[in-house]
Structure 1
Amino acid sequence: MSITIANGYEILDRITDGFFALDDQWNFTYVNSEASRLLFRSRNDLVGKNVWEEFPEAVDLTFYDHYHRAIREQTSVAFDAFFPPLKRWFDAKAYPSSTGLSVYFQDITNKKIALSQKEQHYKSLFEQNPDAVFSFDLDGNYLTVNPAMERLLGYSEAEFLQKSFVPLVAEDDLEKTLGHYRKAATGITQRYQAKVVHKNGSIVYLDVTNMPIIVHDEVVGVYGVAKDITDRSSEQDELQKTKERLESFVRDNADAIWVIDLEDQVLEINPTFETMFGWSADSVIGKKLPIIPDFLKESMQDMHERVKTGASVVGLETIRERKDGSLIHVSATLSPILDLTGKVIGLTGICRDVSSRKKAEETLKAKTKQLESFIENNVDSILMFNLDREVVHVNQAFENTFGWAKEEILGLHLYDLPFIPSEVLEEAKQSEGKIKPDELILGEESVRYRKDGEKLEVAFSKFPIYDAKGNMDGWSVILRDITEWKKSQLVLQNSEKLTVAGQLAAGIAHEIRNPITVIKGFIYLMKSGYGDKEEYFTIMASECERIEQILSELLVLAKPQPIKLEPKDIRFIMMQTVTLLHTQAIMSNVEIATQFEQGVARVYCDENQMKQVFINFIKNAIEAMQTGGTLTIQIKQKDDDHVIVRFIDEGTGIPAEMLKKMGQPFYTTKENGTGLGYMVSKQIVENHSGEVHIESEWNKGTTIEISLPITRNS
């Protein structure tokens, strides 16, 4: 070993840093005393040995990476690293050469522990601070936020670190907040209050301090500390709002308000008081309350004395006097005014003009009595139900008509009422969900029973009952006994049918005479022995069938028939009717032209009644064409739900003033008419849920249109 190298080793042995040298195969070539001490290995144990074999734990640590980078890139490296086998921190510097690597290192474990404790202190101060702590860069972007900041505004740390503070500031405070931030960025600490928007959209009031972050005498960012003062600001805002509300309550109240002291001197009145009573504030403040009539002053003084003891008077219905001497009805409330100790220092009064209400109540009472009288004295039976379907009222007409006393019916449920047939109840139960509670039912025909068991035909109507707020409170039912009316209608219809049959007799007699003549002629020939008798029998049988058909139609028309609603082809009924009236049409020089649309749906009707309607309208059309003409009968489907039948004649027509009266009993445009034919026909159609319309023009003819509903169960 040369003297120079020996001197170099001696110098390295005396330095305070640990030092070792490695050759290009990673073998130790030198280890100084401090390195031996720090590594707990003697120099002789290490020199000539491979560093990674002697310290295999380091292969997976940062030492391995840094040393190899230094050799690979031929550049010095410096780093701090923890060596677990020795449980020590080392500050290492490595310098490469063409022949190996020189490494200097120090034990910095104690320094690291002290620094870690200091960092932990600052970290704890940051993270555990109950106030929100944060920092920005000079562009206002968040750099750090503590958990209190996350709780304050609802955003996570990751969400904050992607934001600028600008979008979080309430719009009306943004300009102010930016101004304070810019001053803090110039090195001037700022404190101010601002409103910011929570993640859930609510407003949070903050007391904010902004401080500059200074590194090497240069401002590189801004620290912030924020306290939540929402409750305090809300209290102040609420206090101000309460004051404003109270002032507005007095100033803008629709009721008259006054304040008097314990000597009954007026301290304050509101504008409504001036308007209601006609007194200005200047004329009453400092004086006795001028609105109490003389005849009430003594009783009101007693009431004031009672209020001065701490009592309140609520909803007092009384009378007050206006400046012009007129009296008004008011509803008043008197209350004591207390100081902070609870001592009464004055009185306040509020009153509302209820004159119109009083008048309305009187009117309502009168109308209520009228309504009660109308219900009780009505000739129709009236029942009222609550929303639970229980009877709450029945009138006298019900007792008279049905025989049950009120006491027997009141409180019964709809389904327990004894006068409703079981089949009607069953139908009502089945349709319960389909009918709305407030749905109107007008004049629907039905059946009910008297207490003695007699069956009554009734017209049933149902109306909802509403309370004062417009909410449905129940419903009323009106039952009109139409038993006798139904009988009279049946007699009327049958009478009209017989009248029509009599009027048709002449035409039918002529129709029958023709086949009878044919039969008589063939009988004469048969007696004389002429011709093929079998052929004669066939012709005579055909003519007899024709006579039988005509007589059958006449008998069906004339003979009373039970009402039987069935699905029928309206075209077939019409053709039978036309056959019956064909002879009369020929005798009157009238041609009957039929225009029937193919595929017309069937109609749910009583065939006999529908023939009566068709005969009446065809016969009227024939009689209206005194000089002959064409009667066009159209049948076609109007829409998916209705079929229409039209009778279009070329007769004299009906004047407009007479057309308005059509359908009235005994009104007719014919010299020998009864005035019942059109009325009965119209009623039959309406009983089939149909409608009849007439259009007519004088000297141009008349069109009668019948609309009938299509059956869905045919």
Structure 2
Amino acid sequence: MKQNTKAKERHADRLDIPGLVFLRISRLGKLIDANEVAARALGYDFSDFLGLEVASVVGREFLEILNPFFRSTPQPVNDCHRVTLRHVDGKTAVSVVGVIRTVQLDTRNQVVDIVGPIDAAGAQRLADLESNATLLTGFIELSSEAMWCMEYAEPVNLASSDQEIVRQVFENECHWRMCNRAMARLYNLPDGLDFNRQPISAVFRRNPENEAFVRQLIATRFHIDAAPSLDVRHDGSLAFIENTVRSDIEGVSLLRLWGTVRDVTQLRTTESKLTERQREVTEILHALPDPVLVVDMGRRAVALNTAFETTFGWSATQVLGQDVSPIIDLETRRPNQRRWFADTERRWIAAVRVADQCTIRCDVRIARMGDDADRRFVLAMRPVPDRPPRSRKASRTKAANRRSTRK
């Protein structure tokens, strides 16, 4: 019964009145009691508020004001001061016009209380901050884009070598400060598990790909867009991730990182398949025995094979991207035929110029590939022997044969 009475007295001492801040400080400089108004005003959960060093809540100059109160006689001392309290974010100040008083809990235990209202301007700023924080939290939580923030309890020393910074990024004590639902979905976290309570190393493991990612961060002062990393989902499967990262750095200390991530695993898989297919097609092209030249609508060379280089003496660097007209005439029309890129024109005999300015007579076949927006033409050129000139005697013999046939 006695214990319950003390508990009630202690609760009453907290002065849980809207807008009124109450802090109780021990001789050792610890925050041993407070009301929820004070904790909320400074951005703390009440359970984390008690036990803090008072130096983390008030400025150093105010600590000097507090010292005389602890040196005073057991008689109560009261004084009025404007107290500036520090928000948990380290940037926002909350101003309280309050009474500072000594309280003798027993013969050996003297404490100092700070009691006072948040000033009107400060209260409005606090209300605005709470409203903005609520809005921002809701926006982040409901966003379809995966967002995260990690915080280092042991800041990374950016004055170290790159290798040491990489080590600290992975090994220094850190935790998730905020991850939204989209993050949980991206990493296949089961329902009921809080992503913010998962170890960072379970997702962001130290591997060659992620070490390269951290080196990119170092080179950009931890400000980067679309940087790749290789992460691990909750089920153990790998995920290729594209990262946008920002940071909070004080001096040479990296305090926290935040950003967004995008799963590009399917894209990477598709790109890998296309690259493999392109490699196979290129190998087939170079294995063909006939010279092959691929051109666009502007007659510019976009591809050729090894047989083209060896047969005509032109290297790929000389031909690719260039107009092929000096090598093969595509524009001269033959009787009753359309231009070279017309669908009906499939085969003809053409003289192909070689690197030493001679020509080789070739049987040219053309095939169209691609759509109208990106049309390409494949020219397969098979050398054919030149026709020997006919002699006069052979011509006269052929003419005589025709006359005898008519008779």
**Structure 1-normalised TM-score?**
0.26
Structure number with higher relative contact order (C-alpha < 8 Å, ≥ 6 residues apart): 2
Structure with bigger gyration radius: 1
**Structure 2-normalised TM-score?**
0.43
Q: Which has the higher helix share?
A: 1
